[in-house]
Chains A and B, each alone.
Chain A
Amino acid sequence: MQPFTFLTAIDEDAALAAAARATFLAGGTTLVDLMKLHVERPLALVDINALPLTEIAELPDGSLRVGAMVRNSDMARHELIGERYPLLAEALLSGASPQLRNMATTGGNLLQRTRCYYFRDTALPCNKRDPGSGCGAIDGYNRIHAVLGVSDQCIATHPSDMCVALAALDATVHVRGAHHERSIAFSDFHLAPGDHPEREHALQTGELIVSVDIPPLPFARRSTYVKVRDRASYAFALASAAVALDLENGTIREARVALGGVATTPWRSHEAEAALAGRRADPGVYHAAADAALSAAVPRRHNAFKIALAKRTLVRALARAGALA
């Protein structure tokens, strides 16, 4: 690890005062790991674990406001999350391990960094870690890489499960700076790599994530998260799908669909949603939606299997949600 200075923030103002020159340390499950690999080299850390951003509160409009320091395990086991947003609870519980979920925070998980091998190894080229050095993955070993949202600079997948569910739920991220507050729509929070894969999110220097709002979505009670990976547990997604269905007499009035493990950002699929709306909840329609979701996929040498896998994952998720009472 590179040397760094360490400060503990006792409140948000203290954290924000130091923020311009420092990196925030929350659960540390991504940051400390990457510091050991010299991928992250902050000169100053501000420990924000003492900030009281640990509540899940219901707002007057029925939204749930999740504090940025709520641990993944606590959000997953929260009664209202499980009752109203099963896809989110399932996504959280499918991620990492119990120990890591006890550490990882809501704000931190929004900023989780890719597991691309080229990004994690400083001996290899990576435009995300070292802009202009090239992408090792595009013509290298790219089995775990993205087929959606890719550019000719980067094909690294976004690793979070939580974010896939939050994309389907149209969440809002609230941030604070030293002299301002603002809200960022979830669909605007993560940035596709384009020509600047080093820019992964819409946060500006000095901004602190304080909470995430999940709007009311009554039909999300009929929702699920399906994750396919190389082993039964404790692995990143090769493909995952978060879906919610609004059903009436076997007809889909509205659907929410987001994919994980196959895209450079948490991937909301409006194409799949359009292919479902107004149709019968049956396998033919589910397959058509899956084809629509992957229609823009760009396969590489080792990851072409993900297109078929993601389609089957989405079909399974839709069938499971459709069969829920």
Chain B
Amino acid sequence: MGIVRKWVQALVFLLTNGYWNFPVTKTIYQGPLKVVCSPGLNCYSCPAATTYCPLGALQQLLAGVRIAIESGQFFVGFYVIGTMGAIGSFAGRMVCGWACPFGLLQELLFKIPSPKFDVWRPLRYIKYALLVLMVVLLPLFAVDKYGLGVPWFCEFLCPAGTLEAGFPMLLIQPGLRANLGLIFLNKLFFLILFLVWAILASRPFCRTSCPLGAFYALFSRIKLLKLRLDPIKCTNCAACHDVCPMGVRFNESPDDMECISCFACSKVCTFNAISLEVGGVAITNQPTPCSDRLKTNPAS
């Protein structure tokens, strides 16, 4: 499953960043595919991006909602929230594990040999605060005299935007370098922070600061595709604790909001206690020699 996941991650990365003509055109992709939602965090100002970033689009719509309504257009984010919600209800944070380019980057960085550290668990709540404050409330209510807000998360924090859009745009349009200022330095700081942290700890941005992951996490109990624990087979050996890239203790909390359904726990579970379920029905519960032995002789 690990190999399949890597291929899916690579495929999604290529599909959502498939415009490789940008060094010639010197600008971003401007075709009709940009009306399609990228499931993961993928800045739409990236020259290669072929889809829109749900977080960026939502902030832009909320930031301009007053002006849109005044001009008779009721653009309040139904399309974007509807798309995000449908993806969340279908797969939840499985998107983070299978379809997020920035998640893939963090996984690759974590493979660099270095001392490894865990992420302090209470930091996970920061992303929910960022979702509410920087993605919804501040773009909606912190407006200028014309009633126009700004996309706070994109402008002041998003490291994916700095990496995927900021640097490539500075390379292909050198004239933009004259506009660099404190905001870019601030974003550069967060980018370096998360890249270095990703070498030392597994998926630190996903675990602490990704508002999109926070949104998808809200569907952890009701998503269609999810990992399921079989309490009959589980022996609480805790083998799943050590391999989880998100620090989930799957045998203790199978509906954990941090679970990205990467199947790392399923792979190491010798008792075959973890399976994929679709709408409540297990579909990958293959018997193992070990589980067969348990069935025939439960005492062993």
Do chains A and B stick together as partners? no
